[in-house]
Chains A and B, each alone.
Chain A
């Protein structure tokens, strides 16, 4: 017998809210008056079956289980009659979340049907070929190599050293603005070196460099060069 257990990564439900909506529908429950004990029991039942099947249960499912049990204990707590009338329904927040989520599930269905309708319609993709289509993607090593060169070119630190903190977000925005400006002037790219060399201080160059890496990771820009060890150019990813 093979004792190995298998990890199955199956997206059975999109999340705890999805599972709850399913249970509500299945049991024909009123979403505005959910029988908490019943739904908690069923919910936990599903979780344990999923566990048994070795399905990958995301932490969110367990958080929701805790929330349900909390709501359940609140509703079962004997409280003075007066408070019961004025106090908010402990289910209220969950109901609102379910309703909100349900709306977007319906939008998703709407989008899905449009996706299906549009499936057979094709548009032309960019046909213009130029030398630039054959550019190399610059690697992280190319970037670092160029960065090192720039650091050497920068003027030595000024006598008076003022500690300055530059948020990376600020540089990200600056770089995106630069690219936008040059695009408006009809230029498709900015030289990587030019971005760094704008900086007077080392810290500025360092943060700019990090900002570029972040933008590459987020697929907002690409770094390319026309030949090995050639000039590195930063292109905006146009959407």
Chain B
């Protein structure tokens, strides 16, 4: 960081956060600004974030999908929508959401494994999700037929406003409490 004053570094980071089309990770910042430590960078990003909050701006630095990026506040979405009305994509269908839910928790996962859980065929859903960059092919499973394995993307995290996959609630939280109770009493009677 010898060649940059802190103020200049802050401005440079601001420029990158503005221009990027996908969240920039701390690793990436470290790589770009050789010599600056992650702690220093994080401190500066935090300062920037605060500055935008303090000036009550319509845009702000967001920590999203394992990185940082500027985003507009939802208060101004009507105007953005008006400006970009021909680029607005449809909301996801229930089958797309269910499929994503399974991929998110079980990745890497094959198509057959997802179909097994959902009980329906999902070829076209997978294609839509691939096209919208919400999932991607992460490899092949070393079994008969070597089927493709799918995983979620950075766009997936950003689309749902998640900072990382860890932010997803644990699956146990979704087990209905009532059902869990019944299960317990059942196993008790068995004993």
Contacts and interface: CB of A to CB of B under 8 A. Distances in A.
Contacts, number: 139
A115 B80 contact: no
Nearest to B136: A239
B117 A100 contact: yes
Contacts of A99: 175, 179
B21 A123 contact: yes
B51 interface: no
Contacts of A16: 119-120
Given A108-B94, A108-B97, A239-B154, A122 B118 contact: no
Interface in A116-132: 117-128
A52 interface: no
Interface string B151-175: 0011100111110000011010011
A128 B91 CA distance: 27
A124 B70 CA distance: 8
Interface string A104-122: 1111111110110111111
A15 interface: yes
Interface residues of A, number: 48
Contacts of A121: 62, 71-74, 77, 161
Given A104-B98, A104-B101, A125-B21, A118 B159 contact: yes
Contact of A122 (B72, B146, B182): B72
A103 B169 CA distance: 12
| The 7 nearest A-B residue pairs measured at CB | A120-B74, A120-B77, A15-B120, A107-B101, A108-B97, A126-B21, A17-B119
7 contacts: A58-B120, A97-B119, A99-B175, A121-B74, A124-B21, A128-B19, A219-B131
